[in-house]
Chains A and B, each alone.
Chain A
Amino acid sequence: AQKITQTQPGMFVQEKEAVTLDCTYDTSDPSYGLFWYKQPSSGEMIFLIYQGSYDQQNATEGRYSLNFQKARKSANLVISASQLGDSAMYFCAMSGGFGNEKLTFGTGTRLTIIP
């Protein structure tokens, strides 16, 4: 079974600062994918970034980067130069291999950017 743990229920960050959202995972699958989604108050889940378990380099997408530490089973999201529009819930999720493509989500972290 797959499990995602997000230990930060809420975070407050000053605008323009960098922020790290923590995510640890557990799985018995030899290969897996790790995802981060943003959920604004409107409710839609917005895909941010993906990391494959065999990827050698950390994924980056604009201001988002994923700090992947396989031995520690962690996949932290780093947002650089935070903006007011970054205020939202952030979910870490993982999928397994063939036949196990469903996403298993964590409980989320509510990020609030302070002007």
Chain B
Amino acid sequence: EAGVAQSPRYKIIEKRQSVAFWCNPISGHATLYWYQQILGQGPKLLIQFQNNGVVDDSQLPKDRFSAERLKGVDSTLKIQPAKLEDSAVYLCASSSQGPILTNTQYFGPGTRLTVL
């Protein structure tokens, strides 16, 4: 079974530029998550999708970040315009539908963003 795929793996941009990240979850997984991991910290949830609907985007900086999950499969996270503090690893995770507490999230390799 293929894991969660993400691209690109690395991205370097200048501040005020825009950038987009792509995620393809494990086949059949209904729930998709985007996390931001700043160096030296644990990941923090940005947005959670159930199929193609948003469940939780309370910590997404909506003035610059946007995300979509068309057709309930692939997802794209965009930052426009980027700030220096957006430098981080962006992790995508997915989980299947089942008993809520046992929904293990499986992560992709992440995209390391550097904003200069």
A residues engaging B (CB < 8 A)?
4, 31-33, 35, 37, 42-47, 50, 52-53, 91, 93, 95, 97-99, 101-103, 105-108
- Asked if residues A45 and B100 are in contact (CB atoms below 8 Å), the reply is no
The CA of A45 and the CA of B43, in the complex, are separated in Å by 10
Is B95 in contact with chain A by the CB < 8 A criterion? yes
Q: Does B103 contact A (CB under 8 A)?
A: yes
Chain A interface helix/strand/loop/mixed: loop
User: Within the assembled complex, what's the spacing in Å between the Cα atoms of A44 and B56?
Assistant: 23
Q: Encode contact with A along B91-116: 1 for CB under 8 Å, 0 otherwise.
A: 10101000011111111111010000
Task: Give the number of residues in B that approach A within 8 Å (Cβ atoms).
Answer: 28
A108–B101 contact, CB under 8 A?
no
| CB <8 Å contact, A43 and B109 | yes
CA distance A62 to B103 in the complex (A): 20
Bound-state CA distance A99–B31 (Å) is: 12
Q: How far is the CA of A50 from the CA of B100 in the complex (A)?
A: 13
A52 and B102 contacting across the interface, CB-CB below 8 Å? yes
